[in-house]
């Protein structure tokens, strides 16, 4: 099987949006995640298109396509052999919810990373985008002992000096260490407390090769750099909480200090604190690079807000419950917050309805604004650059890739300015056809961008 190694993420430049506003490939191991790139687009006009927020009147005045017209345009494109033997798909009108195209739209299928749309929507429904996650150090029970208490921030960084963190805007362990040094507190023992989360550290629904890997770590409430033992590491950690404790000891110049798991004493004195980037930024970082670790941590924030167990099962159940309350029933098939599990099941209609919910709900529009942009950012930075330059910058979408699965769900304006929502999942694609399946999905969405389809 093939996999794409994850690179760093290009920043998306986003204008404020209203209701209608919206090469580097390295083959390693099994294909369990999406690809992204540091490079931008060779088409400068993509930036202009990507950063324009069309007005709401443009959406309401633009004529809608017809179901007959859309079906005619997509007929040959959805039947290409590179999409494997089955493609589930749906195209909706963002304004009215009218269905312009559907094929197997209600059948449960493996969503891969398009499932992150549900996590992003749920967390912004229960938390403000300006909220931050706090990591603290408290005094331990014995002299020389401090307790590093995880607050669920997956982007806390062990970067020091001028070293860049894995995630821009991340809180730094070095700042915690500096606060301790100002207090002249001697340290010879670091206890790491990740009791905010519960349940297994690795999902029982993930494949054995998923942890450790370059796309997933064990999920703990305390970690650094997305579950990496050090900034820049390719493979993430099986014990990211202990790695964070060791990094703190190194930052305190006591690298030989004992690092153990434990719990903070009740009512312990707080000695130091740092805060993450805003949750809205974490959502963007998750969607742009399809970061599985951030996704799982954000799903747990949904569980915490709902006073549910902050475990894989509790987080998935909380995400499902929040979406049901918002009017979209995803069923019972979501088993994690990232879509990494091959056991996840969602219908493409659910994916499209979540996108419509985001488009219609002001506090949720950050999901659409955070999506990768075709030929410009994140996991779409190197797509839409070969066959249809007119779609460069015109598509915002979440990619999804697992072994035998290629998915794409997002938004696109047709040639008349009508905002369309789409979700396509090809769930029987052999691994060596994955790049070609991605191109076929891009061709489908490019046709929607060119289409008046009346």
Residues 342-377: tens digit of each pLDDT:
999 999 999 999 999 999 999 999 999 999 999 999
With 50 as the cut, is the pLDDT of residue 40 above it?
A: no
Report the distance separating Cα 91 and Cα 384, nearest Å: 19
Banded pLDDT at 200 (limits 50, 70, 90): very high
Identify the CA nearest to 190 among candidates 155, 152, 241, 230: 241
- Judged by phi (left if over 0) then psi (alpha if -120 to 50, else beta), residue 115 lies in alpha
The pLDDT value given to residue 46: 53
Residues 226 and 6: beta-carbon distance below 8 Å:
no
> Which has the higher per-residue pLDDT, 433 or 426?
426
With 50 as the cut, is the pLDDT of residue 411 above it?
A: yes
Tokens representing 132?
């931050």
Backbone angles phi, psi at 300, to 5 degrees: -70, -30
Distances (CA, A) of 292 to 168, 219, 311, 340: 17, 10, 15, 7
The pLDDT value given to residue 126: 98
Measured from the Cβ of residue 445, the count of other Cβ atoms closer than 10 Å reads 28
**Three-state SS at 431:** helix
The pLDDT value given to residue 32: 42
The pLDDT value given to residue 45: 53
Residues known to be catalytic: 113, 116, 290
Q: What is the mean pLDDT of the chain?
A: 88
Report the distance separating Cα 425 and Cα 105, nearest Å: 10
**Three-state SS at 294:** helix
Banded pLDDT at 58 (limits 50, 70, 90): very low
Banded pLDDT at 388 (limits 50, 70, 90): low
With 60 as the cut, is the pLDDT of residue 8 above it?
A: no
Tokens representing 148?
């590093």
Backbone angles phi, psi at 215, to 5 degrees: -125, 0
DSSP 13: P
DSSP 159: -
Question: Measured at the alpha carbon of residue 111, what is the angle toward residues 450 and 66, in degrees to the nearest 5?
Answer: 30
> Which has the higher per-residue pLDDT, 225 or 8?
225
The pLDDT value given to residue 25: 25
Report the pLDDT averaged over residues 106-131. 98
The pLDDT value given to residue 61: 75
With 70 as the cut, is the pLDDT of residue 253 above it?
A: yes
Banded pLDDT at 31 (limits 50, 70, 90): very low
**Three-state SS at 110:** coil
The pLDDT value given to residue 60: 63
Domain 45-128+282-292+329-450 of CATH type 3.40.710.10: yes
With 60 as the cut, is the pLDDT of residue 47 above it?
A: no
With 70 as the cut, is the pLDDT of residue 414 above it?
A: yes
pLDDT in tens, 286-345: 999 999 999 999 999 999 999 999 999 999 999 999 999 999 999 999 999 999 999 999
Report the distance separating Cα 32 and Cα 406, nearest Å: 11
Report the pLDDT averaged over residues 212-225. 98
With 80 as the cut, is the pLDDT of residue 257 above it?
A: yes
Task: Please report, for the chain, the start and end positions of each structural domain, with discontinuous segments joined by +.
Answer: 45-128+282-292+329-450, 134-277
Report the distance separating Cα 387 and Cα 443, nearest Å: 8
Distances (CA, A) of 73 to 70, 329, 440, 449: 5, 30, 14, 11
Backbone angles phi, psi at 345, to 5 degrees: -135, 125
> Which has the higher per-residue pLDDT, 390 or 118?
118
Share of the chain above pLDDT 70, in %: 86
With 70 as the cut, is the pLDDT of residue 417 above it?
A: yes
401: which strand partners?
A: 406
Hey, what CATH topology would domain 134-277 get?
3.50.80
The pLDDT value given to residue 340: 98
Share of the chain above pLDDT 90, in %: 80
172: which strand partners?
A: 157
With 50 as the cut, is the pLDDT of residue 158 above it?
A: yes
> Whole-prediction pTM value?
0.90
């Amino acid at each position: 099987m093939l996999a794409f190694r994850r690179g760093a993420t290009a920043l998306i430049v986003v204008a404020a949006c209203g209701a209608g506003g919206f090469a580097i490939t390295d083959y390693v191991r099994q294909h369990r995640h999406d690809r992204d790139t540091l490079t931008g687009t060779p088409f400068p006009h993509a930036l202009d298109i990507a950063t324009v927020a069309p007005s709401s009147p443009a959406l309401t005045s633009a004529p809608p396509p017809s179901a007959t017209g859309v079906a005619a345009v997509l007929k040959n494109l959805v039947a290409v052999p590179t999409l494997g033997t089955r493609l589930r798909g749906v195209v909706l009108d963002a304004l009215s919810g009218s269905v312009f195209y559907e094929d197997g739209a209600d059948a449960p299928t493996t969503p891969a990373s398009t499932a992150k749309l549900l996590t992003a929507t749920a967390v912004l429904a229960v938390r403000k985008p300006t909220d931050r996650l706090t990591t603290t150090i408290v005094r331990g029970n014995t002299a020389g002992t401090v307790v590093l208490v995880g607050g669920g921030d997956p982007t806390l960084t062990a970067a020091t000096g001028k070293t860049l963190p894995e995630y821009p805007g991340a809180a730094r362990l070095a700042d915690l260490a500096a606060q301790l040094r100002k207090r002249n507190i001697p340290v010879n023992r670091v206890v790491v407390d990740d009791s905010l989360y519960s349940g297994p550290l690795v999902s029982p629904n993930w494949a054995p090769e998923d942890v450790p890997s370059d796309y997933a770590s064990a999920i703990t409430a305390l970690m650094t750099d997305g579950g990496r033992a050090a900034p820049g590491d390719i493979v993430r950690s099986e014990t990211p909480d202990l790695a964070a404790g060791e990094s703190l000891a190194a930052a305190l110049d006591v690298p030989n200090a004992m690092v153990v798991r434990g719990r903070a004493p009740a009512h312990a004195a707080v000695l130091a604190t740092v805060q993450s980037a805003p949750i809205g930024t974490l959502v963007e970082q998750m969607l742009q690079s399809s970061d599985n670790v951030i996704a799982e941590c954000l799903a747990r924030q949904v569980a915490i807000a709902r006073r549910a167990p902050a475990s894989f099962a509790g987080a998935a159940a909380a995400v499902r419950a929040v979406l049901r309350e918002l009017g979209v029933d995803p069923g019972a098939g979501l088993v994690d917050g990232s879509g990494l599990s091959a056991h996840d099941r969602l219908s493409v209609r659910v994916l499209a309805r979540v996108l419509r919910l985001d488009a219609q709900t002001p506090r949720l529009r950050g999901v659409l604004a955070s999506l990768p942009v075709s030929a410009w950012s994140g996991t779409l930075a190197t797509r839409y650059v070969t066959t249809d330059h007119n779609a460069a910058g015109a598509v915002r979408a979440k990619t999804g890739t697992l072994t035998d699965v290629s998915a794409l769900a997002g938004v696109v304006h047709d040639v008349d300015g009508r905002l369309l929502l789409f979700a396509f999942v090809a769930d029987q694609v052999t691994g060596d056809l994955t790049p070609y399946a991605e191109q076929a999905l891009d061709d489908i969405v490019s046709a929607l961008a060119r289409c008046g389809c009346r």
